[in-house]
């Protein structure tokens, strides 16, 4: 993993499975709601995680999703990543990117950079989708890195997403400007200018920044007409089966006009239901 990707990983620590989120409340905002929920069951934990994700509350998501041992391991990994020695080139690249995103007139500048590519991309996109869909889906279904019981649902999501892209003008001027505006707004909300700030963050501070970044991702999707809030609101859990310290359940949700179903496996660790690793 490159040093730059490690930075992103530190800021987006809590990307679990099919992460979809909504709301813009941020870290800690879902804690009271989760406290009222029954998290002693696998499905209760799952719905509590959805509540945290909808609020972009990575802190509550982490605490609700992990056993104490897993939490301690995550904090240790975070601290180890902080020890990465970034080169002067890394620091300059980061500062330049953040400076560009937060400068006065950033939205106009970035659109002016993107505009010459839009017409060409609009012309090529339909052919790329038509030629690439079968290959992409076949690659997912045969990917040894994915558990067999997740390949069909992953292919269904990707296939539906590619169809949705082909049916919607995602490269229109208005949508491109809205997406750029969302990215610029997120960069300003992060209030970061250097990699030194990243290395000096505490774990909780990183979760707060990650919550901001996660909300920004949601806003970018919104710009293209895709509500991740609605996707989360459509989530349903059924057929929960508990066998000792293991459990399975069926999770379904609406995405890109399709109903996607996935079997989720969980285990009980230290008295807490967590995703099976």
Q: Which helix (H) or strand (E) holds 241?
A: strand 236-243
- 88 within domain boundaries: yes
Mean pLDDT, residues 154-169? 90
- 146 within domain boundaries: no
Query: What are the two backbone dihedrals, phi and then psi, of residue 241, each rounded to the nearest 5 degrees?
Result: -125, 125
Segment 4-62, tens digit of pLDDT: 334 433 343 333 333 333 344 555 578 888 888 888 999 999 999 999 999 999 889 89
pLDDT of residue 198: 84
pLDDT of residue 37: 87
Q: How far apart are CA 219 and CA 188, in angstroms?
A: 14
Segment 244-260, tens digit of pLDDT: 999 999 999 998 888 98
Query: What are the two backbone dihedrals, phi and then psi, of residue 156, each rounded to the nearest 5 degrees?
Result: -65, -40
- 137 within domain boundaries: no
Reply yes or no on whether the pLDDT at 186 is more than 90: yes
Tell me how crowded residue 116 is: count the other CB atoms within 10 A of its CB. Answer: 9
- 153 within domain boundaries: no
pLDDT of residue 27: 52
- 26 within domain boundaries: yes
Total number of domains in the chain: 1
Read off the pTM.
0.80
Domain that holds residue 193: 3-103+179-233
- 266 within domain boundaries: no
- 271 within domain boundaries: no
- 139 within domain boundaries: no
Segment 114-155, tens digit of pLDDT: 999 988 898 899 888 888 888 999 999 998 888 887 888 888
- Across 101-110, 118-127, 199-208, the highest mean pLDDT is recorded for 101-110
Dihedral in degrees, nearest 10, Cα atoms 247, 253, 255, 257: 140
């Amino acid at each position: 993993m490159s040093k730059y990707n490690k930075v992103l990983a530190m800021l987006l620590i809590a990307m679990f499975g099919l992460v979809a989120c909504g709301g813009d409340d941020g870290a800690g905002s879902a804690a009271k709601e989760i406290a009222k929920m029954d998290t002693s069951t696998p499905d209760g934990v799952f719905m509590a995680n959805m509540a945290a994700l909808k609020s972009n509350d990575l802190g509550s998501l982490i605490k609700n999703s992990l056993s104490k041992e897993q939490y301690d391991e995550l904090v240790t990994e975070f601290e180890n990543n902080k020890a990465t020695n970034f080169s002067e080139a890394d620091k300059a690249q980061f500062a330049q990117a953040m400076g560009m995103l937060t400068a006065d007139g950033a939205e106009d500048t970035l659109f002016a950079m993107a505009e010459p590519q839009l017409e060409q991309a609009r012309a090529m996109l339909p052919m790329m989708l038509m030629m690439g869909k079968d290959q992409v889906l076949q690659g997912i279904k045969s990917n040894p890195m994915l558990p067999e019981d997740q390949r069909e649902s992953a292919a269904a999501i990707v296939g539906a997403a590619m169809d949705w892209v082909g049916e919607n003008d995602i490269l229109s001027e208005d949508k491109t400007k809205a997406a750029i505006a969302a990215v610029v707004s997120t960069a300003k909300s992060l209030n970061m200018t250097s990699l030194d700030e990243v290395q000096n963050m505490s774990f909780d501070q990183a979760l707060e920044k990650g919550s901001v970044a996660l909300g920004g991702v949601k806003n970018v999707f919104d710009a293209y007409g895709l509500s991740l809030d609605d996707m989360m609101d459509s989530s349903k859990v059924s057929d929960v089966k508990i066998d000792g310290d293991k459990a399975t359940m069926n999770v379904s949700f609406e995405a890109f006009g399709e109903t996607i179903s996935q079997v989720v496996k969980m285990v009980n660790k230290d008295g807490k239901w967590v995703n099976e690793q």
